Amino acid sequence: MKENKRLMGRREVLSYLGMAGAAVMLGGTAAYGAESMTEEQGDNELRKLQHSLASGTGASGIGYGAETVQETLDRIQKRTIIDAREFGLSIGSINDTATLINAIQECYNNGLTLGVSGLLDFGDAELIIDTPCDIWGSGWFKDLRFIIGGATNGDLWARIDGIGVISSAAGGDHGFVVRKGRFLDFLNIRARLVDTVIKGESFTNTGRHAVGLITIDNLNALDVGSMVKLIKQGGDLYAFNDIKIQNSRGWFLRDYGTYIEQIDGLVYADNYTHFGRNMPTSKNHLRVQDAEWLNIGGTNTMFEGGEEAVYISEVGQLAIGGSTLIGLTGQNRPASALKIANSSKFLSASIAEGAIKFEKPSLHGIEISSPSGMIHMGTTQGAIDARIGSNASPSYFGTTDLSTIDHYGVSISGGVAAYGECQSDGLFINGGGVSSKLKDRNESTALRTNMKKLGNRAAVASVTVTATVPENTGTTLIGPTDMSTISGHTPTGAEIFVQAYNADGSKVAVYHLLYRRASATVAEVKTVSFSEESSIVDGTPAFSWGTSSSGSLQIFPKSKTGGGGTVTGSFTFIISSIGGVTFGTR
């Protein structure tokens, strides 16, 4: 019986240790074996153990998995990310915004990051937080309008990373809203079905640059209205400044990609936006109204917008570099790929070589108008959709017959001076009083309009025409567009240079011409000088020049040297002009 008591005392000690999960070696315990520990000794050791675990260092003697409880507590205390569920937020039920505000405030006060995992449903609610903490995780905020900066106007230094926002139904007014505050980063944000993923709101009492120094990086949105909107609700100050939007993707957008009003500085780079085919509500991929400066760079791709892919109005400084590919834009109304429209502000713009490439916009490739300013421009490439609408075209779904509309690769109007070269389907310069040099380097053999020029601007245009010349018959090469729809038959003149090649390119003739148009029906051309083969036979490019009753430029084949009629054959004419002539189709 005594022996059993000895064993019982030891088992009680070991049982207590086991229940606590301890890996503790009691002082002196090793001196007792199961056969030598008495009941009294076991009771003493048990009291010692209880006293030790109840002391301030007791947690160091209790095991918790592979470490002691104290080590676990130390590690928890050192955490920088606290899961939202530890503050009472839950998955599978409707959460109270007050609980989320409390969690954010606690993390902000202690310099911690709030972790969000799973889907936190708020049942169509709104919260306003003046001092957001960093928020990180792979979780979602459902049916929540998360407003930052309700009252405080200052630097927030907050980062929201990886969070998803989602609405119960398409078009829900949920997502992130910034009203005041600077130094905010929205990183790796995901969005579904919301009206606007990230919205900036400025009101009448919002100060200049009150919302700024914001980076939006890797925003991924599917089936949303707009990715980013910065809205001016009142006042005329630049409330938004120095916003960067980059590396972001939007698919099946229903309204805008990025829409901004009143901004002092925007960087837009390496973004991909896609609206979807025949979406009647879709508008611009990027729309900026009233900007001090705007920089578009990197590699941007924009597909299937309802209006202009990029629409910029009242911009001061504009730089477009990198490579922006615009495809199938202007689905809902005839619209250009890129449109810059100033009505009062001086425009200083630079469009780098190859920075804009367009595929089938339903109006112009690039359309620029400004009362004053200057544009430095490199080559731009692309094709324009001039087909009939009403679903006959895969890129335009309106009712206007696009073949009835004038289309130009580049259309520049107003008093802005243009410098550089541009390759496109056509060039339109409209505006007097400012010298301008913009060369349209048209490498297509299609007989599209190369240049329309009004006022006193000098311009250079070129076109390549291939024509079959019959014997003894005049042939029209190019026809200036009827001036009555443009300037009321304003007289115009041009200096024209022509290179004429035979079919295999083995012979060439060169002509220097002066063209003068006095009215809609009066035009003439004079040959200043020419250089031809000394012997004229079939296939020799040798012509005299004239005009038709409508003012078209015509050629008349010369007689062969040995007699027997005039030269015939197929010839290629490379025609360039300096001055105010408008090249049209034959």
pLDDT 10s digits, 273-308: 999 887 889 999 999 999 999 999 999 999 999 999
pLDDT at position 68 is: 76
pLDDT 10s digits, 521-546: 788 999 999 999 999 999 999 999 99
pLDDT at position 191 is: 98
Q: How confident is the model at residue 58 (pLDDT cuts 50, 70, 90)?
A: low
Q: Is pLDDT above 50 for 69?
A: yes
> Two tokens at 390?
């009403």
pLDDT 10s digits, 27-38: 444 444 444 566
Task: Tell me whether strands 286-297 and 134-136 are parallel, antiparallel or unpaired.
Answer: unpaired
Angle at 392 between CA 391 and CA 396, to 5 degrees: 55
pLDDT 10s digits, 231-281: 998 877 899 999 999 999 999 999 999 999 999 999 999 999 999 887 889
Residue type, position 401, single letter: D
Summary mean pLDDT of the chain: 83
Question: Mean pLDDT, to the nearest integer, of 468-485?
Answer: 73
pLDDT at position 488 is: 41
Q: How confident is the model at residue 79 (pLDDT cuts 50, 70, 90)?
A: low
Contact 571, 501 (CB under 8 A): yes
For the chain, percent of residues with pLDDT exceeding 90: 54
| Highest-scoring range by mean pLDDT, 247-261, 356-370, 412-426, 553-567 | 247-261
pLDDT at position 411 is: 82
Q: Which residues pair with 523 in a beta bridge?
A: 517
Q: What is the Cα–Cα distance from 418 to 412, expressed in whole angstroms?
A: 8
pLDDT at position 323 is: 96
Domains and CATH numbers, the chain: 2-77 (no CATH), 275-441 (no CATH), 460-579 (2.60.40.1680)
pLDDT 10s digits, 432-442: 445 455 555 54
Q: At what angle do helices 2-20 and 39-54 cross, to 10 degrees?
A: 20
The contacts of residue 571 (CB under 8 Å, 6+ apart) are: 466, 467, 468, 469, 500, 501, 502, 503, 541
pLDDT 10s digits, 158-191: 999 999 999 999 999 999 999 999 999 999 999 9
Q: How confident is the model at residue 423 (pLDDT cuts 50, 70, 90)?
A: low
Burial of 63 (0-12, 13-18, 19+ CB in 10 A): middle
pLDDT at position 581 is: 66
What is the 3-state composition of the chain as percent helix, strand, coil, each rounded to the nearest 5? 15, 45, 45
Burial of 556 (0-12, 13-18, 19+ CB in 10 A): middle
> Regarding predicted confidence, which is higher, 384 or 488?
384
Q: Is pLDDT above 70 for 344?
A: yes
Across 154-174, b (16+ Cβ under 10 Å) vs e yields eebebbbbbbbbbbeeeebeb
Q: Is pLDDT above 60 for 6?
A: no
Rounded alpha-carbon distances, angstroms, from residue 276 to 66, 282, 399, 525: 54, 9, 19, 51
pLDDT at position 71 is: 61
